[in-house]
Homo-oligomer: A and B are copies of this chain.
């Protein structure tokens, strides 16, 4: 057992542990887009394989089953969002102003446009396909967001029972914008995901939030 640099069980990844991890990433990309657009049942492993230019059995070298692939897609997609919300929560509810959270989330959703549709597919399914682990991480988010709103400066006019419904409403406005983008383009012609429209939506959200939660302390009697 001449150690040297030592063949210790798990040494840290140099940069990319195996070539296959790159393939796994490409599979996740393809599956994410397809699951978001067609849902779980509407997505076939054949579609995924075709999209990454592989044969179906090769997928099983990276993911044990279709369900496991779906869980991995969800985990990779939702993880970053939960982290961001966690950061905001850690900053202390006092300092976090709602408008800032919303702009941050909008930026994130613009980078991952598949995510809102993915989340809504899951919401429509009633969360039946959520990993227990993921469910545990998602569950507290809503309550924390409500606490944050309650502690924010301009929350005075809303009762404790109204705040959760307000949070839910803001969530629907945020993600609904992305979910409806394709249908909106089909029916009305405008592209909601274009930069100017996106900027308008962000500005509108800021205005709505500052109207519903007037930050100036002069408004409170």
B142 & A200 in contact (Cβ 8 Å cutoff): no
Q: Which stretch of A53-61, A103-111, A165-173 is in the interface? A: A165-173
B126 & A179 in contact (Cβ 8 Å cutoff): no
A41 is contacted by which of B39, B168, B201, B208 (Cβ under 8 Å)? Answer: B39
A124 is contacted by which of B117, B164, B165, B211 (Cβ under 8 Å)? Answer: B117
Instruction: Give the dominant DSSP class at A's interface.
Output: helix
Return the chain B residue nearest A163 by Cβ: B204
B39 & A187 in contact (Cβ 8 Å cutoff): no
Residues from chain B with Cβ under 8 Å of A186 in the complex: 126-127, 135
For A166-204 the 0/1 string (1 means CB < 8 A from B) is 101101110011011011101110100000000011001
Q: Kindly state the separation between the CA atoms of A176 and B169 in the bound complex, as whole angstroms.
A: 8
Interface residues of A (CB under 8 A from B): 37-42, 117, 120-127, 135, 138-139, 142-143, 161-162, 164-166, 168-169, 171-173, 176-177, 179-180, 182-184, 186-188, 190, 200-201, 204, 207-208, 211-212
List 29 A-B residue pairs with CB atoms under 8 Å apart, sorted by A's residue number.
Answer: A37-B124, A37-B125, A37-B126, A38-B125, A39-B39, A40-B42, A41-B42, A122-B183, A123-B180, A123-B183, A126-B182, A126-B183, A135-B187, A138-B187, A139-B188, A142-B188, A162-B204, A165-B201, A165-B204, A166-B204, A168-B184, A169-B176, A171-B176, A171-B180, A172-B173, A172-B177, A173-B173, A173-B176, A211-B211
